[in-house]
Structure 1
Amino acid sequence: MTLLEEDRRPPLLVLVGPTAVGKTELSLRIAQALDCEIISGDSMQVYRRMDIGTAKLPPDERQGIPHHLIDILDPEEPFSVSMFQQLCTEKIEEIRSRGKLPFIVGGTGLYVESVCYGYTFQGDSGDEAFRARMHAYANEHGPEALHARLAAIDPAAAKRIHPHDERRVIRALEVFETTGRTLSETQAQTRGDDKRSPYRLCLIGLTMDRAELYRRIDARVDSMMEDGLVAEVDALLKSGVPRNAVSMQGLGYKEIASYLSGDLDLHAAVELLKRDTRRYAKRQLSWFRHMKNLEWVDVGTQAKNTELFASICAIIAGKFLLDLEYIR
């Protein structure tokens, strides 16, 4: 691998895109071609025993490619963007020490971007008493009332965060409570256009026709149901994982938990999951469109998989100044 001598920053390959767009399959081929080790850029795949709802690739389907930051926490444990940033940065150095190319693959935009640009986070240790008060407020007055409190102090964050995403709403309120600055102000500072990455980045984003993406999302949810999502969520709850745990706020888990508690019938829970996943994909695309230097690839416009792979290889070769013959 030959890189420009004047740029000493270590290379970092990143593949992002909305859920169900096809990142996993493509990432395996890229990793094989470039001798990569993959780091999951997904905030939910860190949890053990949460496989179906997180669309986790089984170990026997990883083609011998090392995958990192998967199955590292129990579902009862909290996880945050600052924790991800620290763990991911450490993994990048480990992978480089083995002479491999670090390759982040995932759809959690803030998590991925925090590593790419070295974000700093204030007050992440958390104010448990404040969180408890906010959870109690939401239980008494409803999630919309809690979301209204956020809208009053940080309209931009309130627009991005769904009213029922209680964990993120409370986190945004907590940032203001502990730092005196809104989450939007903090993110605007860390996402400044002049912020230089500690890495030589190659950022690739996958997209496709919105209608086709939504069709694939619906099909994925149906497949998860056939694979046993209800049994997976039921087992987690019966093992003592609380419904308000960070892990149980993930897509698939909160909707099915509502069914298991009797709040929804199964059909309504599945339709809600499909709707929420489509909305999440829309938010993912919105986030990625604001990432600087992202090279977009429309996976629906390539006539063949070979053409798609060739297009991506050309992008990588251009960014890292590789000889295309190196990419096998």
Structure 2
Amino acid sequence: MVDRGLLYREWVQNRTVLVMVGLFLAAVNPFEVLNTYLVYQGCLDTPEAYCNFYVNSLESGMLNLNWAPAVILAVCLFGLERTKGTIDTLFSLPYSRAQVFHTKFWLGAAVITGAQVIGYGLAELLILLLKPERVYFFHHYSVGEIIVSVLAFTLVASAGCLTGNTFAQLLTAFAVSIAPYLIITLPLSNVEVIFGVSMYELMPSVEAYLKVNNLFQYLNPIMYIDTDWVSASKYILLIPAVMSIVFYAIGYFCYVRQPVERNGRFFLWRQLDRPIQIVVIIIAVLGFGLAGYSTGHTMTGYVAGMIVGGAIGFLVSYFVIYKKTKHV
């Protein structure tokens, strides 16, 4: 499944990124606990100050950035070789594409998961030694960040298996991260404008509408950048876990069957160019239509926005999708 020779090759080629990502993910959790303790000690030195030593993971300014190193690692493992034009050399080695994919994927996943597990253990040890008065959301948030960072890695990695350069990889990953909004919410918002009816009016109650809306937002992978999922439900993390499995399967299928001759193009499959361009134009029409309507709440502005959106969508999609990126 994971070949030792390939593993060594990936380590030599990406060791700087792997080490930096591992160190950051392993250090960020214990650093936050230690920093909280140092702030508490500084408070004790302030006369007549009320000091309270507690650990609240939701107040962490760095833990919620754990997805960023995962994105960087996915680009390095699954995107840069196409941009550099060295993917042909990799595929000429005596290994199957499945072996190459699994080696890259599990190396990245192991670094992301293993480093955060180490950081989680070190932070737990610091909590036991420093004995804060209260600990809020530590376990749930730490485990959740591991799942979220794996989701980010699998999403960007699968996008890299579908596209021919790093720009296309990141743009595709971003589009997928908000796909439920683009596919469902955006058209429904246009329906509201055209027919003059709000979606919540079709629901049994406003509370039911808000509940459905709150659950729906967690189908957008980008929502896990925020920390609202921590207080939403302990089962909400099942959604990113399932999405990670789906993205892994998509990435594996695309990597094994990818046409190498399309490297540098936006999509590795020519058959995707026209359908995706049409989708981009439709999204631009709907999005700019809403923007035009919001300026004066008139149908004239709505139609004008749709016309502008159609033109912009066509031009952007044409030059982005059909222009080949040169190797660097």
TM range (shorter): under 0.3
Structure 1 or 2, whichever has the larger Rg, is: 2
Higher relative contact order (CA 8 A, sep 6+): 1
TM-score for the superposition, normalised by structure 1: 0.22
Structure that is richer in strand per residue = 1
